[in-house]
Amino acid sequence: MHADPQTLTTVIVVPCYNEAERLDVDVFAKFAATRPWLTFVFVNDGSTDGTAGLIATTEQRSPDQIRTVILEENSGKAEAVRRGLLAAFEQGPDLAGFWDADLATPLAEIDTFRQRFAGQPELEIAIGSRVQMLGTHIERKAVRHYFGRVAATAVSMILGIPVYDTQCGAKLMRSTPRVREIFAEPFVTRWAFDVEILARWLVSRRAAPSVEASYGLVEIPLDKWIDVPGSKLRLADFVAAPLALWRIYREYGRALRQAK
């Protein structure tokens, strides 16, 4: 049975660390104003610039749809997202997810994601996928694209599913007990927590061994994604990526093999 998308209350977490130069709070506020089912939760992850003031001003303008989680010290994107989603789940939404503050993925994609959830009651996790093909507008630096292809191959081998793009900062989930449990404990990595989200969810599928492991999981090709200058990713993050994936394999590999 399909649901009416307008009935699916949605909370989107926006992790922020020193985003004063890139965070266009007016875009978020105007988008939410036309969608009464939507709330944004901004997580100020120990920012040392003007990010906190921007968020506070926006929350005062739209207190019903803009909320803030403050982390006094910088904890990294993984923990910022996790803490934000814990706060989101407390609001009892139908759907919750996270979106990058730079809006490399336009907010309009949220509507597309919600349509998929409305039409697929079994769907639990939807992840944005930056697939460059006819009819889409994907602007991504070559080095990040090719690194992403190598990383996606390694991730697919670890998880045992053919995933194209785990690192896109646009994800939406149905607020089920299984999904909420994913965020109960801190992640073991800072860079590859997106992969950990999938790993924890796939391991939980052991409770339904007769169902295909990836049932309830979908990648949604984005219509538009633009690489915005000022990314917090540095060369050291790319160098550390193999170690992060190894830690995930060590932490979840055995359970993932048993979950197949």
- State mean pLDDT over 116-132: 94
The answer to whether the CB of 116 falls within 8 A of the CB of 220 is: yes
Angle at 165 (CA atoms; ends 51, 230), nearest 5 degrees = 30
pLDDT (average), residues 59-80: 94
3-state secondary structure of 48: coil
Q: Are 21 and 52 in contact (CB under 8 A)?
A: no
For the domain spanning 7-103, the CATH number is: 3.90.550.10
Reported as a single tens digit per residue, the pLDDT across 170-179 is 999 999 999 9
- At residue 89, the 3 state secondary structure works out as helix
Q: Render pLDDT for 140-162 as a digit per residue (tens, 0 to 9).
A: 877 776 677 778 888 899 998 99
In the block, tokens 């994601």 appear at: 113
Query: Any idea which residue has 């391991």 for tokens?
Result: 203
Structure pTM?
Answer: 0.91
Break the chain into its structural domains and give their ranges.
7-103, 104-260
